[in-house]
């Protein structure tokens, strides 16, 4: 499956790690470290990706659940770590929807690990 970025640009969804909002632009982070900046809002991509394994975990990020490496819990906060070692927090308001989405989609995610911050 591909997503049309306008004009003649298309990318495979299987190559997208996550989308990050930046004002009225969206930065698409791809496997192999590539990035593409597109003059579309994150909401536009969210509406396009509704039937895929992508989930908006907060107001600035949509992640590809296929690239989740680990889930960390620290107190009341939960973070998703992707395969590129980027950690992104799941918004408290989105946690319930996140759990429903993963159950409904039958996506198998790693077990949540309690993460205690390093204290110096």
pLDDT tens-digit readout, 85-110: 999 999 999 988 888 888 887 777 77
Residue 77 confidence (pLDDT) above 50 = yes
Residue 119 lies in a domain: no
The answer to the question of residue 120 being in a domain is: no
Residue 85 covered by a domain: yes
What's this model's pTM, rounded to 2 decimal places? Answer: 0.83
pLDDT of 6 higher than 90: no
Strands (E), the chain: 2-6, 9-12, 16-22, 25-30, 35-38, 54-58, 61-64, 68-74, 77-82, 87-89, 112-114
Token duo for residue 64 = 């590809």
Total domains, the chain: 1
Does some domain include residue 58?
A: yes
pLDDT tens per residue across span 8-62 = 678 889 999 999 999 889 999 999 899 999 999 999 988 888 778 899 999 999 9
In the numeric block, which tokens belong to residue 83? 């395969």
Q: How confident is the model at residue 75 (pLDDT cuts 50, 70, 90)?
A: confident
Tell me which residue of 38, 42, 53, 43 sits closest to 4, measured CA to CA: 38
CATH number at residue 58: 2.40.50.1020
Residue 83 lies in a domain: yes
7 against 60, higher pLDDT: 60
The helix or strand, by DSSP H or E, that contains position 103, with its residue range, turns out to be helix 95-105
Q: Which domain holds residue 54?
A: 2-114
Is 95 a domain residue?
Answer: yes
Classify residue 21: in a domain, yes or no. Answer: yes
């Amino acid at each position: 499956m591909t997503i049309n970025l306008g004009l003649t640009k298309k990318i495979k969804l299987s190559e997208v790690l996550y989308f990050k909002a930046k004002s009225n632009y969206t930065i698409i982070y791809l496997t192999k470290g590539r990035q593409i900046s597109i003059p579309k809002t994150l909401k536009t991509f969210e509406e396009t990706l509704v039937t895929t394994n992508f989930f908006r975990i907060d107001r600035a990020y949509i992640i590809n659940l296929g690239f989740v490496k680990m889930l960390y819990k620290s107190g009341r906060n939960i973070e998703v770590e992707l395969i590129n070692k980027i950690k992104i927090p799941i918004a408290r308001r989105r946690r319930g929807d996140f759990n429903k989405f993963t159950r409904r989609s039958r996506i198998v995610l790693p077990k949540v690990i309690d993460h205690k911050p390093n204290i110096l």
